[in-house]
Amino acid sequence: MDLGEPTEGQPTLQTLKLWVGREELVTELALSPREQRTGMMFRTHMADNAGMLFPMPEPRVASFWMKNCPLPLSVAYLDSGGIIKEIHDLEPYNTNAVVSANGDIRFALETPRGWFEKHQIHEGVAVATERGPLLQAIFGKGSR
């Protein structure tokens, strides 16, 4: 499979409704390596109540950048329990990686920049899905 440099935005991905604290967010799921590598690259719009979720196969230090991404975004790094550990603002087109301080990050959730602040979402807030806990909904551990 070719994982070469993306040259265009990807079509809308499969979605999943999340609750971030009490706020509802419809997120696209970047599940495959290609979907994760492309992320929000080249896209010029993201709805106010939309996001993109990047699951990681195991807990790790997370690292995201904004190469080829014209939209200002925010990213929350979450642990396996769906708890927000860190929130960072991302600058359009910035190719410097925004690395997590925590080594136990299992998910990254991108939103329009300022979404977390606007909704008073902060570190320690839990994220759940319409299908139950985040880890089970994405990876199926004990959910089926």
Provide the CATH number for the domain around residue 118. 2.60.120.1140
Q: Is residue 143 part of a domain?
A: no
Q: Is residue 100 part of a domain?
A: yes
* Beta carbons within 10 angstroms of residue 91's beta carbon: 14
Tokens 């089926």 belong to 144
Domain count, the chain: 1
List the end-to-end C-alpha distance of the chain, in Å, as a whole number.
30
Q: Is residue 57 part of a domain?
A: yes
Q: Is residue 8 part of a domain?
A: no
pLDDT at 144 over 50: no
pTM: 0.92
Give the domain extent around 107: 16-138
Quick one: pLDDT band at residue 10, thresholds 50, 70, 90? confident
Residues 6+ apart with CB under 8 A from 140: none
Tens digits of residue pLDDT in 75-93: 999 999 999 999 999 999 9
